[in-house]
């Protein structure tokens, strides 16, 4: 089973992995720019149980990294590839880098650290997604109203509603495999461990986010990624690329082209 992906541009490959509840669409504005303005071959990916990729009852980092590796093989990506992931996608990218360092030239991780993450902060989002009754929901506004009872932030709801689609029978559904993601959520918080990845790695963190702490910068990240740097994007939260696209565009372009 091959991951759904979008391949655009020519040059050194840059593979992009989205975060939990995301899709490759979340990155498309920047992906097009890296393809057209930075001269990169950009491959945006839907991870398993997300977007238009396959649904599966297992959702672990080891399996997700194997999914991405199979896509590398299918696309015949060479060792000059840059792999970038945001949040959950960042942990997938770290897992692949630690397990198969020979397949990458460099690694970019956006606003996530390798340590264990408590996933309780996702409880309200899960409750909101599960509260949408698709037997009665007839439009996007009704889905948004149901979500709003659990997820007051409009930007977060807009992000989640990108998963809403109309089926052939004209009813609505989530593209994500919600039941499996809810059941497997603890696994999404697992720590990343392994032998250090010695090639260049760039960690991009939001200045207003707590996903990468000072201790992560000083200890956790260098222990696994000794040839890494951490770039802080001021006034950005966890969705750094959505809040500060110009800064992220420049950081990734410079790093991937070096």
Q: 171 vs 11, 147, 165, 227, 242, CA distance in Å?
A: 42, 18, 8, 50, 30
Note if 53 is an active site residue. Answer: no
Of 60, 61, 43, the C-alpha closest to 3 is 43
Could you say which of 44, 87, 209, 228 is catalytic?
87
Could you say which of 18, 50, 86, 238 is catalytic?
238
Report the distance separating Cα 196 and Cα 213, nearest Å.
20
Angle at 236 between CA 182 and CA 27, to 5 degrees: 60
Report the distance separating Cα 88 and Cα 22, nearest Å.
10
3-state helix, strand, coil in the chain (%, to 5): 45, 15, 40
CB-hemisphere CA count at 13 Å for 107?
34
The owner of tokens 């010695």 is: 198
Contact of 34 with 104, CB cutoff 8 Å: no
Note if 44 is an active site residue. Answer: no
Contact of 25 with 163, CB cutoff 8 Å: no
Catalytic residues: 87, 238
């Amino acid at each position: 089973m091959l991951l759904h992906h979008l391949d655009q541009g020519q040059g050194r490959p840059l593979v992009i992995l989205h975060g939990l509840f995301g899709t490759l669409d979340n990155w498309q504005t920047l992906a097009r720019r890296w393809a057209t303005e930075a001269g990169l071959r950009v491959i945006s990916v839907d991870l398993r149980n997300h977007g238009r990729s396959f649904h599966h009852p297992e959702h672990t980092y080891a399996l997700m990294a194997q999914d991405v590796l199979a896509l590398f093989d299918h696309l015949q990506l060479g060792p000059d590839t840059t792999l970038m992931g945001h949040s959950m996608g960042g942990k997938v990218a770290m897992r692949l880098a630690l397990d198969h360092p020979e397949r990458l030239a460099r690694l970019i991780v956006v606003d996530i650290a390798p340590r264990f993450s408590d996933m309780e902060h996702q409880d309200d989002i899960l409750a909101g997604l599960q509260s949408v009754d698709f037997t009665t929901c007839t439009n996007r506004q009704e889905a948004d109203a149901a979500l709003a009872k659990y997820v007051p932030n409009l930007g977060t709801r807009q992000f989640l509603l990108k998963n809403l689609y109309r089926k052939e029978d004209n009813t609505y559904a989530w593209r994500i495999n919600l039941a499996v993601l809810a059941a497997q959520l603890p696994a999404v918080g697992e720590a990343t461990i392994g032998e250090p990845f010695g090639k260049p790695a760039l960690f991009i963190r939001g200045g207003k986010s707590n996903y990468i702490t000072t201790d992560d910068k000083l200890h956790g990240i260098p222990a696994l990624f000794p040839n890494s740097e951490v770039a802080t994007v001021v006034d950005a939260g966890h969705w750094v690329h959505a809040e500060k696209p110009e800064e992220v565009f420049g950081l990734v372009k410079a790093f991937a082209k070096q």
